[in-house]
Amino acid sequence: MTRLVAFDVDSTLLAVESLDFAIEMTRGSDGAEKVRAITDAGMSGAMGLRASIAARLDIARFERGSVARAAVALKAYATPGMAELLAALRAQGDRVIAVSGGFGDLVRLALRDLGFADSAIFANRFLWDGGRISGFDTANPLSDNGGKAEVLSQLRNAFKPDSVVMVGDGITDLEAVESGAADRFVGFGGVARRTAVEDRAREYAASINELSRLLLA
């Protein structure tokens, strides 16, 4: 059986929220609590994803150098045990991809270290005005709720897997199975536990060991 196993990135493959991490690294602790509240609202479904991204970028005011420095720093934040799980999935023949509501410019280096080719990374894109970020690509489906479901539907049509599995911590991950784009959803609370997701997920892993048991069984 050929499976397509899609992993969320922030608070799943990585032990941080990459955009929030980059904002705090760039701006210091000033506003960090506000940024976390915006992120939590988006991940729990209390705020739309696109609104959450826009609000955080308004605080960020990134330049190219700050994004590059954060991307390098994020290489140290892979979720413990995740590299081993990914290797085991690939060894048994699963096609493993990363599908993120975060930004490729921030997470790509860390994901390469976890064995993801660029072609297996699906993420949002910054828009640049010279050396500063002017916004983000709202034509990218991952910039809004329902985007992960849309991407998985496209990949199902392209690769024809026998089944599609989505793994993640947030509402946008859960949407993939509730829309029918994924056949199975495994909620992951090893980094951040979101009640709205845990209550609705048929399968939930509170640790990397539980996640490995559910995916490799």
- List the pLDDT tens digit at each of the 217 positions of the chain: 799 999 999 999 999 999 999 998 988 776 677 888 888 887 777 888 899 899 999 888 899 999 999 999 999 999 999 999 999 999 999 999 999 999 999 999 999 999 999 999 999 999 999 999 999 999 999 999 999 999 999 999 999 999 999 999 998 999 999 999 999 999 999 999 999 899 999 999 999 999 999 999 7
- What's the CA gap between 4 and 98, in Å, rounded? 11
Q: Can you give the pTM of this predicted structure?
A: 0.93
Q: State the DSSP code for 78.
A: B
- Count of structural domains within the chain: 1
Backbone torsions φ then ψ of 122, nearest 5 degrees: -120, 120
183 as an active site residue: the answer is no
* Domain that residue 149 falls in: 3-216
Q: Can you list the positions of beta strands (E) in the chain? A: 3-7, 95-103, 121-124, 126-129, 132-136, 163-168, 184-188, 203-205
8 as an active site residue: the answer is yes
**Residue tagged active-site, from 8, 94, 105, 173:** 8
- What's the CA gap between 126 and 104, in Å, rounded? 8
CATH number at 20 reads 3.40.50.1000
| Opening angle at CA 194, ends 155 and 217, nearest 5 | 55
